[in-house]
Chains A and B, each alone.
Chain A
Amino acid sequence: MTTKVRVDTPLQVLDVRYSYGRTRAVDGIRFEVGRGEIFGLLGPNGAGKTTTISMISGLLPPESGQVLVFGHDIADSRGGARTRMGMVPQDIALYEELSAAENLRFWGQVYGLSGPNLKRAVESVLDQVGLAERAGERVGRFSGGLKRRLNLAVGLVHGPDLLLLDEPTVGIDPQARLRILDVVKAQAAAGRAVLYTSHYLEEAEQICDRLAIVDHGRLLAIGTVSELRRLVGEGPIINIRGEVTSERLTAMAGRLEGVALLSCADGAASFSATDATACSSLVRELFQTGAHVEDLRVAEPNLQSVFLKLTGRELRD
């Protein structure tokens, strides 16, 4: 597949592949992220998200394919492309012996800032993440939420045009999470491109303009939230819990019109139904056949159901 190289497109990931020994971690993933767009990369652990981010940030060279940042191959251009990119890793990659301001000054200098520009950038980003009053405090004394906010600030200090956010809200309280999400949305509103990975589907659903679902190194689906929802239909999702077997439920779904089994594992199963009638027929069938159902819930289709349909497992499995 050929692709036009566009210097105004913040990120083009073109059929990249990478293997660890004989294990193929990323197998031909392809997507683009435009200016002002928040693009979510979703997948369970081991799906290939971090390897993809590592290739995008230049830490791993793709075996094949290309990563273009504003039209520049990340493998060729050390300075230009990387200076326009800000990375926020999943780990809290900060120096705990230094203060918040010292951390930011250091990373600003790494990206070439100095003098008044550096000072302004540090003050501005501390304001954005709400840490201005704790600028001089050692990071080692910060709570997890404060560290996460500073971790994000480090990625923003040099004013990048492309932000790579790898699980930026892991392990923090809802208030800190909302603050981080607000900052991310503000960055996109300012015209920056954001590549965002997360375990939290609701979070991704809330802030991402477009999403890609990856598993086993492959890209399974890509589109807006509503486009992805359509993959499981417009109708309701029926989740049951009880003593159920995959064979029995597959056979049952096959007998019913407009009903499809999305997943079945560990005493839980999900069905999609095209409409309320199909939903009713499923419920009736379950009770008439004497299936031992302990819990039954009907929900609107969401990313979780899309994910289940595409991967057969929960995102956090």
Chain B
Amino acid sequence: MRRILVLVLKDLRRRLADPAGFFLNLSIPLAMAGMMALAFGNSGGGEQNAPQLRLVLVDLDESPISGMLAGASQNPRAAGRMAVRRAATREEGLDVLRDEEFAAMLVIPRGFGQALLGSERTELELVKNPSENIMPVVAQQGAEVLALYLSAGARVLGDEGPRLQKLLVDGAGWNDAAGLGSMIATLYDRVDAAGNLLFPPIIEVTEQAETKQDAGGGFNWMSWMFPGMVVMGLLFTSLTQMRDLLRERDAGTLRRQLASPLGAGQVILAKVLSVAAVVAIALVLLLTVGSLAFGLAWGAPAPLIATSALLVLAITGFSAMVFALVRTERQGDAFGGVLTMLMSMVGGAFIPPQILPEWLRGVSCFTVNHWGHEALRALATGGGWAQVGAYLPALAIMGVVFTGLGMTLLGRRHLRGTL
């Protein structure tokens, strides 16, 4: 054991004496994450960074009901999400839609408020801008939700609608205290009766989510992106470090070690351990940068340590296997590099695996990246044992299988005299 420690320390001293390669490897994922942060915003910030919906509103009704709808877009929350330009006529609205790159135009027709309060069929007109892709769809979905809620509201009002219309539109009945009181009581009863329908938990869920986002500064999309970069960076680091085995072979120092009282198993194990140590240091550095630069939190220490240990084992085992299969450093660089990029893509480092074809998602499950990403993402989004636990067995199996296979193959190469 002492001699293995001597070998490991020797490798670490060498890395320390010439750390350029090590930091170059780490700079790749950091640079990619940094560029993405610059392109899409650092933490995402939830609502602040969501693209704004630019909407043209044409209120032909000009009733108190349509006024309420138009006014709703002016409240501070909606103002952050929407930019609403009012137009007097449909034609003017169409001109604005065409000339000023608005996503859609919502037309509230004449008689809309009256029809709504009278529980009569009516419609909202939405004109989408064909030159835009996503936001018109968002506008359409928003309009559909609005129509649904207005319809539900009209149904709840029922035959009280005309009385309310008289009150709000015509301004009549304000002096009839008894009638006003009876209408309010009726409406209260109806709203109360529909309470379970109108105020289901969906509203509470929304409020809870808003509270949490406000407290944490919104969804940090780097918690999705950065773990993928971390795993990819660790794979490159690991491959570069494991390449040292073939470099030592070519330099003759490996032969010298194998001619010493050390056994081949000790030499190979020491190399795997020293690579694992460097990968672990790289992981600590990357996680720290993730916290400092992108505001990521990695959860409780115990799940983080378990995830890190198994991730380091799986990644080190992977690189041992790669370098057990190749003959030269160049082959290792090429084979390992291509494999890492493919695994990163399939494993979800660049795109969500959910949008991949079904068969590729199956392939993804056989990559270290997939399980590493998922585990780190679970930690970065506040997950603990319960969330991370699902990924750890896969990482452990990969770690044991890859490391075992890699060491066995390297041992066989030694016996054949090709190591």
Q: Which residues of A (66-125) have their CB < 8 Å from a CB of B?
A: 78-79, 82-83, 85, 87, 89-95, 97-98, 102, 106-107, 109-112
Main secondary structure, interface of B, reads helix
A60 within 8 A of B: yes
> Do the beta carbons of A89 and B255 come within 8 Å of each other?
yes
Q: A92-B252, A93-B251, A93-B252 are in contact. Are A110 and B260 (CB under 8 A)?
A: yes
Whether the pair A59, B258 counts as a contact (CB closer than 8 A) is: yes
In this assembly, does B257 line the interface, its C-beta being within 8 Å of a C-beta of chain A? yes
A264 to chain B, nearest CB (A): 37
Please give, as numbers and ranges, the residues of chain B lying within 8 Å of A89 by CB-CB distance.
Answer: 252, 255-256
In the bound complex, do residue B13 and residue A93 qualify as a contact, i.e. CB atoms below 8 Å apart?
no
Q: Is A12 an interface residue (CB 8 A)?
A: no
Are A93 and B253 in contact (CB-based, < 8 A)? yes
Residues of chain B with a CB closer than 8 A to A98's CB: 10, 13-14, 17
A138 within 8 A of B: yes
| Docked-complex contact B417 and A59, CB < 8 angstroms | yes
* B261 on the A face (CB < 8 A): yes
Decide if A57 touches B259 in the complex (CB within 8 Å): yes
CA distance A138 to B6 in the complex (A): 19
Shortest distance from the beta carbon of B333 to any chain A beta carbon, whole Å: 20
- B255 x A59 contact (CB < 8 A): yes
A93 to B258, CA, bound (A): 12
> Could you say which residues of chain B place their CB within 8 Å of the CB of A95?
10, 14, 253
Interchain CA distance A112-B256 in the complex, whole Å? 15
Interface size of B as a range? 20 to 34
- Bound-state CA distance A197–B215 (Å) is 75
Residues of B within 8 A of A109 (CB): 3, 6
* A residues less than 8 Å from B263 (CB atoms): 78
Nearest residue (CB) in B for A95 is B14
Pick the most buried of B6, B252, B260, B263: most chain A CB atoms within 10 A of its CB.
B260
A123 CA / B6 CA spacing, docked (Å): 20
Q: Say yes or no: is A154 at the interface (Cβ < 8 Å to chain B).
A: yes
- Asked if B18 lies at the interface with its beta carbon under 8 angstroms from chain A, I say yes
B262 within 8 A of A: yes
Pair A106/B10 contact, Cβ less than 8 Å: yes
Interface centre among B17, B256, B417 (most CB of A within 10 A): B256
Set of chain A residues within 8 Å of B18, measured between Cβ atoms:
97
From A54, A90, A97, A110, name the one whose CB has the most chain B CB atoms within 10 angstroms.
A110
Q: Which residue from A79, A82, A85, A138 sits with its C-beta under 8 Å from B17?
A: A138
Q: Which chain A residues in 24-63 approach chain B with CB under 8 Å?
A: 54, 57-61
**Besides the contacts A82-B260, A97-B14, what 9 more A-B pairs have beta carbons closer than 8 Å?**
A82-B259, A89-B255, A90-B252, A93-B253, A93-B255, A94-B251, A95-B10, A107-B260, A138-B17
By a beta-carbon cutoff of 8 Å, the part of chain B in contact with chain A is 3, 6-7, 10, 13-14, 17-18, 251-253, 255-263, 415, 417
Q: What are 22 inter-chain pairs, A to B, with CB distance below 8 A?
A: A59-B255, A59-B258, A59-B259, A59-B417, A60-B417, A61-B415, A78-B261, A82-B261, A92-B252, A93-B252, A93-B255, A93-B256, A94-B251, A98-B13, A106-B6, A106-B10, A109-B3, A109-B6, A110-B260, A110-B262, A112-B3, A154-B256
